[in-house]
Structure 1
Amino acid sequence: MTIIIISLLLLASLLPHLTFTAHVNVGIVNGREARPHSRPYMVSVQKYGQHNCGGSLISDQFVLTAAHCWKGERLTVVVGAHNLRNIKSSDHIRVISYIQHPQYIPIPLQNDIMLLKLEKKVQLSNKVRLIPLPNDGEEVGPGTVCSVAGWGRLTTSGPASNVLMEADTTTINPAECERKWGSVFLAPKMICVYGAGGSCFGDSGGPLVCGGTAVGVTSFGNIHDCNSPMSPNVYTKISAYIQWIRNEIGNVK
């Protein structure tokens, strides 16, 4: 049986045209509101003044996000946010360069990773900080408890969250991910996770964080369920792209 997948971002725009019975999930599924500014690396990637995707601040002028988050529109990044209804104009920074991975493929999603260069360097503070990245080729073993966060939808077909939500989740053995996703899951370049909580639509591009390090970029999930045990959420494995990141922006800490 062919499993149909679609990026978490793309599905948000297609939901009104799809006919299915959605599972009701809370959260970022079964999530909780993050303590304000406890994740100072999180950014809201926006188009036309609306939240579009998540992202991670990895240097004072670069954001790491998913390649499918950009389709030619002009994007801005909001830093230091918690409640997106209470952000100042000074928190918005224009993106001046969109660096999708050169081997990015939208269908099926492969090499779904992108760098955004900001028009100016951000001023780091208690509310705006960088997140560390893994070493080249570093692996996260199955059964590792990690976390995800974002401003995505509160349910599969419901509204987005104004405040940053977070949830704990657990990495799955790559062999099990391959059994559940088939050939679309590429173990050398992807991680999949499942837990009581998980990413939902609008959380694309945000980080999978394990031990304080960003190890994945939210990429795709099942169209019927934001947090399905049968087809768990999939993340681009950052450690597989460290050399590319360094070549583009220099050695990040």
Structure 2
Amino acid sequence: MRARHLIAPLILAVSAAVLPTALPASAQTTPPPAIAAIPTDQLHPDGGVSPHVVNGERTTVRENPSLITGLRVGGGGPQGASCTASVVGRNKILTAAHCMIDVTGDKSYLYGDDDLNTAGDESFRTKVASYKVHPKYTGPNSWQNGYDVAVVTTVDDIPVPASQWAKVAGSADSALTQPGRSGVAAGWGKISSGGSSGVLNKTTMPVNDAADCQVFDVRVNPELMVCVGYNDGRTGTCSGDSGGPFTVDGVVVGVVSWGSSKCDRYSIMARLTNVMGDWAKGEIGGGQPGDGKFSVGLSPSSGRVAPGKYVSTTLTSQAGDTGPEQIELSATGLPAGTTATFQPTTIGTGGTAKVTFETSAQTPKGAHTITVQGKGSSGAKTATYTLTVDDGTTTEGPRPVLSPDSATTTPGGFVRTQITVTGGQGTSRLTATGLPTAPSFFPQSVPAGGTSRMGAFAPWQAGVYKITVTATDQAGKSGSAVYTLTVR
């Protein structure tokens, strides 16, 4: 065994701070460089337990369904708990490379237990079929140089639906790890460098500039590592949290890698907002959350409303190759004072729902982009709606929006479409050209935000016909849209 001042990685627990009584200014000194933790789930700190590190906030697997416990024969935590990890696929797990390389003992995973100190509460156990560490993680202690990430394949499928798999960042997500952002770390690790472990905790920590984090006897490389937390250790990760996620805006941007042997300084994550994340996503394969296997759409996809009024649209869905799903509906990006009402709030794929956006007198004027989400068992899909809020004094003319805007039928066949008129002053009158027999409208005059249905008989001669639908408001302004009718 090498002397305790040697560098080693941390198999890191969530903790919160209790600060000691401040020393007089004359007695304060710059703390010496922190000793990095040894590469095992058992901490052997130099100098005993730090008074700075205590419990974090209790949480549950139910609240964090992608979290899973890494076990190993000889592991120092309850039931052999050694690391924390994230479920990222049907039989895929994301963790730290040092959780696989730097510690011995056969490894397995346990799912569904908030407190490992009571055996038998888990819902699932599986063995490791194989694993891959980043190709630049070259052996034990390579965590010092970065690339501390691994993807594990399990023998059995993990009972976590695709919609609840952890979403992994890549090089396109670099903004998520900019200094000043805030994220959450969670794990079953120790609540202090000499304390107990095995209970799931979480904590929120800021992302720091790496230049402010050079307080260790190992360099924090900003290209490969993310420094989070606080230099006084008021909250952070500890032994047993290694491999667990650091999540910003619902995306895993880092993997818990190493830190102070006393768990009383910053926490260092393996960075995923770069090629390391791209590598991990390539090894995971398949659809990450957000890639729902169904579709959703809004018709119309925009509307205009006065403050204090409301406008409605229709959400439609179609099943994908995974078959029927139940979809939960929600909306984000609503302007101040605006509510979204779904009727119903849950639909089956292939179903529809009415979506009503109701503003208040305080809702700011202008165009607002609202995101409507459908969440099912295969993931989530979104559609956007442009809500324009004004007081009716605009000089902009009306605009008809067709849904659908095309159809195919046989000679003499009958087709229908819905028309929503946005903008304009007062009611708008609908007309159409392009067919031998003029289409009919029900009704022919509609207010801004109102809807009508157009019915038309197809010509007897095959071909493609462009039907121009025009809305003319009471001020004489008009706008048009084209309906394409194919006759075969």
TM-score, normalization by structure 2: 0.46
| Per-residue Cα deviation, 1:8-64 (whole angstroms, up to 9, x for no partner) | 12254351xx5413313444xx41111452111111000124100000111111111
- 1:1-253 matches, within 5 Å, as 5-9=7-11, 10=39, 12-13=41-42, 15=44, 19-27=46-54, 30-48=55-73, 49-71=79-101, 73-84=105-116, 85-87=118-120, 91-105=124-138, 106-107=141-142, 108-125=144-161, 129-139=164-174, 140-160=177-197, 162-177=198-213, 179-181=214-216, 184-195=219-230, 196-223=234-261, 225-228=262-265, 232-240=266-274, 241-253=276-288
- Aligned CA distance change for structure 1 residues 11 and 89 (closer, same or farther; 3 Å): closer
Q: Which consecutive segments of 4 or more residues in structure 1 shift more than 3 A? A: 11-14, 86-90, 179-183
How many Å separate the matches in 2 of 1:119 and 1:43? 15
- Aligned CA distance change for structure 1 residues 37 and 133 (closer, same or farther; 3 Å): same
| Per-residue Cα deviation, 1:184-234 (whole angstroms, up to 9, x for no partner) | 2211111011143210111110011111111100000012x2131xxx111
How many Å separate the matches in 2 of 1:222 and 1:26? 12
C-alpha contact 2:88 2:166 (8 A) present in aligned 1: yes
How far residue 138 of structure 1 moved from its aligned partner, in angstroms, is: 1.9
Secondary structure (helix, strand or coil) at the match of 1:148 reads strand
C-alpha contact 1:6 1:221 (8 A) present in aligned 2: no
Structure number with higher relative contact order (C-alpha < 8 Å, ≥ 6 residues apart)? 1
How far residue 146 of structure 1 moved from its aligned partner, in angstroms, is: 0.9
Q: Which ranges in structure 1 are unaligned for 5 or more consecutive residues?
A: none
- Aligned CA distance change for structure 1 residues 114 and 163 (closer, same or farther; 3 Å): same
How many Å separate the matches in 2 of 1:159 and 1:182? 26
Q: Which moved further from structure 2: 97-106 or 70-79? A: 70-79
How many Å separate the matches in 2 of 1:187 and 1:82? 33
- Aligned CA distance change for structure 1 residues 219 and 172 (closer, same or farther; 3 Å): same
C-alpha contact 1:24 1:156 (8 A) present in aligned 2: no
C-alpha contact 1:5 1:220 (8 A) present in aligned 2: no
C-alpha contact 2:48 2:194 (8 A) present in aligned 1: no
| Per-residue Cα deviation, 1:55-97 (whole angstroms, up to 9, x for no partner) | 0111111111011112453211112221222545751111100
C-alpha contact 1:37 1:81 (8 A) present in aligned 2: no
- Equivalent pairs: percent with the same residue? 24
- Superposition RMSD in Å: 2.5
Aligned length: 240
Q: Which ranges in structure 2 are unaligned for 5 or more consecutive residues?
A: 12-38, 74-78, 289-488
| Per-residue Cα deviation, 1:97-125 (whole angstroms, up to 9, x for no partner) | 02111111424242111111011222225
How many Å separate the matches in 2 of 1:116 and 1:93? 12
> Which structure: larger Rg?
2
How far residue 180 of structure 1 moved from its aligned partner, in angstroms, is: 3.2
Amino acid at match of 1:80: G
C-alpha contact 1:66 1:114 (8 A) present in aligned 2: yes
